[in-house]
Chain A
């Protein structure tokens, strides 16, 4: 094996030496592969960057999660012009319990009730968007705790007057670490700020991140006790009166395999209990799959464009190698006369082509890494270089060397030594 290895290394050196004899020619020959590989890597990086951004957003929703939102049904909307009645719609506390109790694969469900209340912290008075929820929320929407703690099962059981601010809400209220333990007034009731957690920004497809634009969390039990389910708002001369028990339920499924069947089950169950469709199910996993499918299509399109440039590069190499074989007919004749077998001539020329195309691939790779970096720097577009987008083009460039080098190499081996030795 060591004999084989050292022979291969010597062959590679021989190839490099031969290529160095014609530096400019070798360089120009390489350019096709350089640009081909460079564009493949750069395009993959840009594509990967765009889809990764979408993916991370979706993943923030949790790929094992099902998100159910309350929506006002369309029928209700049209009758709203009468302006007199109260709109009752959306998910109920029972929905939450049934989901928790009926489905074997549901690990946890976190209900969310959204209210807006005038609040005061110190001298700041603001209308806050507050989510009433249970301790399960913080497990399903895991966020870094910046200060203090989140509330737990006991707080929910005890109807505790505790509030967890989001980073977003804390900024509005000018709350800091020192705010922990201080009272905040929400809608006339006093709560103790127990913690501040990080907020996530951004959209995932058409789905909002669950904690977007939430200022504070308080236990659901406390919300029900203190504020009830009735909501009234005066706006533009009309009054909106609503009773919504829960605005959102986030369901976590124990295994990714069970996400879609469970979502279908929940949907059927909700159909049975709701006369109107006043809810909407979103499955981040489905979005994820969709995003992956889009990415795949994108990659195929980009890949086929780039492969044309690789093909052109390969043909360029083949062209030069054919010329090189003609030019070196005499050398081939000498080698054959001395005792080189056809196979050894093939290997010699093939290695030369592979060295050329691989070098082109490496230079192209460097270019393909540099270009996205420049794009990211100047255009602010996210780009991602994955291990795959490095290894794949390298294999391709080796492959180009073999495919487009084979024909010239076979041509070289066909040279008749008697004629070749007379060749000038």
Chain B
């Protein structure tokens, strides 16, 4: 039984009178500890799939099981809770909060979990060390390079000890050398047991994953193993 299961997921957007089927009955299962790359052209439905996977959006129909929870019908507050406790996000444009220091950015999930300041600071330091940024804790994002910002984002995604990490084009804004470093970091996290699902359109980057899922017109086109 997978950690993530889609059962006949549909997502339909209404654009005026026209209906757009972003996902047209997708069923899949990702095992715990796996590393997936989701690929596909723009408009293939991979972004919609990531949004639903990340509990940022609800499917129009079908069921989504995250571990034992059926999250497809949950209300907004409950979805927030699932995101907080089960999911870590890494974005293409890093999405750090500019006015907060590196440490505060990493602490952000812990803040919403209600950790006390002392424990959070300790955890942030530990994570910064893990991504090699222990000397930058008091810097603001604007003072960091792209690669460093993405490392902060990785540290932040790990803060609440999530069961899955969702990475949306994590290397899209990085040069290939830095991109490789980030991918190595993700691969290392995966060997330590974290399930990773990553959207990318670069075959080089997708090569870091164990499995590749190709989307086309809101459906799974094919699945490949590395």
Does any Cβ of B come within 8 Å of A264's Cβ? no
Cβ of B114 and Cβ of A10 under 8 Å apart?
no
Which of A3, A7, A10, A338: most chain B Cβ within 10 A?
A338
Does any Cβ of A come within 8 Å of B97's Cβ? yes
Contact mask for chain A residues 7-22; partner B; CB cutoff 8 A; 1 contact, 0 none:
1001000000110010
Does any Cβ of A come within 8 Å of B76's Cβ? yes
Supposing A18-B99, A418-B56 touch, asked if A341 and B80 sit within 8 A by C-beta, the answer is yes
Does any Cβ of A come within 8 Å of B181's Cβ? no
Cβ of B114 and Cβ of A339 under 8 Å apart?
no
B154 to chain A, nearest CB (A): 14
B217 to chain A, nearest CB (A): 21
Cβ of B56 and Cβ of A335 under 8 Å apart?
no
- A281-336 contacts to B (CB < 8 Å): 330-331, 333-336
Contacts of A341 in B (CB 8 A): 76-77, 80-81, 112
Contact mask for chain B residues 62-98; partner A; CB cutoff 8 A; 1 contact, 0 none:
0000000000000011001101110001010001111
Supposing A3-B114, A335-B108, A418-B57 touch, asked if A340 and B80 sit within 8 A by C-beta, the answer is yes
Cβ of B56 and Cβ of A337 under 8 Å apart?
yes
Does any Cβ of A come within 8 Å of B29's Cβ? no
Contacts of B91 in A (CB 8 A): 421
Contacts of B96 in A (CB 8 A): 334
Classify chain B's interface size: 20 to 34
Does any Cβ of B come within 8 Å of A219's Cβ? no
Contacts of B76 in A (CB 8 A): 341-342
Contacts of B114 in A (CB 8 A): 3, 7
Cβ of A339 and Cβ of B51 under 8 Å apart?
no
In the complex, A384→B202 CA distance in Å? 75
Supposing A339-B109, A339-B112, A421-B91 touch, asked if A21 and B99 sit within 8 A by C-beta, the answer is yes
In the complex, A418→B156 CA distance in Å? 19
Cβ of A17 and Cβ of B54 under 8 Å apart?
no
B17 to chain A, nearest CB (A): 22
Contacts of B85 in A (CB 8 A): 339
- A262-290 contacts to B (CB < 8 Å): none
In the complex, A339→B159 CA distance in Å? 12
Cβ of B97 and Cβ of A331 under 8 Å apart?
yes
Does any Cβ of A come within 8 Å of B116's Cβ? yes
- A327-367 contacts to B (CB < 8 Å): 330-331, 333-344
A74 to chain B, nearest CB (A): 82
In the complex, A201→B77 CA distance in Å? 71
Number of A-B contacts (CB under 8 A): 62
B57 to chain A, nearest CB (A): 6
B42 to chain A, nearest CB (A): 13
Does any Cβ of A come within 8 Å of B223's Cβ? no
Contacts of A344 in B (CB 8 A): 112
Contacts of A3 in B (CB 8 A): 114, 116
In the complex, A340→B89 CA distance in Å? 13
Cβ of B117 and Cβ of A337 under 8 Å apart?
no
Cβ of A338 and Cβ of B108 under 8 Å apart?
yes
Cβ of B95 and Cβ of A340 under 8 Å apart?
no
In the complex, A421→B96 CA distance in Å? 11
Contacts of B54 in A (CB 8 A): 337
In the complex, A421→B56 CA distance in Å? 11
Least CB separation from A333: chain B residue: B95
Does any Cβ of B come within 8 Å of A417's Cβ? yes
Task: Indicate which residue in B51, B57, B111 contacts A10 across the interface (CB closer than 8 Å).
Answer: B111
Least CB separation from A343: chain B residue: B77
Does any Cβ of B come within 8 Å of A206's Cβ? no
Cβ of B57 and Cβ of A339 under 8 Å apart?
no
- A1-38 contacts to B (CB < 8 Å): 3, 6-7, 10, 17-18, 21
Contacts of B89 in A (CB 8 A): 337-338
In the complex, A17→B84 CA distance in Å? 24
Least CB separation from A342: chain B residue: B76
A352 to chain B, nearest CB (A): 12
- B107-133 contacts to A (CB < 8 Å): 108-109, 111-114, 116-117
Least CB separation from B111: chain A residue: A10
B52 to chain A, nearest CB (A): 10
Cβ of A339 and Cβ of B99 under 8 Å apart?
no
Least CB separation from A20: chain B residue: B99
B169 to chain A, nearest CB (A): 12
B157 to chain A, nearest CB (A): 9
Task: Indicate which residue in B77, B81, B95, B109 contacts A330 across the interface (CB closer than 8 Å).
Answer: B95
29 sampled A-B residue pairs with Cβ under 8 A: A6-B116, A6-B117, A10-B111, A10-B117, A334-B95, A334-B108, A335-B97, A335-B108, A337-B54, A337-B83, A337-B89, A337-B95, A338-B84, A338-B108, A338-B112, A339-B83, A339-B84, A339-B85, A339-B112, A339-B113, A340-B80, A340-B112, A341-B77, A342-B80, A343-B77, A417-B56, A418-B56, A421-B91, A421-B95
- A residues with a Cβ closer than 8 A to B are 3, 6-7, 10, 17-18, 21, 330-331, 333-344, 417-418, 421
Which 9 pairs show the lowest CB-CB distances between chains A and B?
Answer: A339-B84, A339-B83, A341-B80, A334-B95, A339-B112, A341-B77, A21-B99, A331-B97, A418-B56
Given contacts A335-B108, A338-B112, 15 further A-B contacts (CB under 8 A): A6-B116, A10-B111, A331-B98, A333-B95, A334-B96, A338-B83, A338-B84, A338-B108, A338-B156, A340-B112, A341-B80, A341-B81, A342-B76, A344-B112, A418-B57
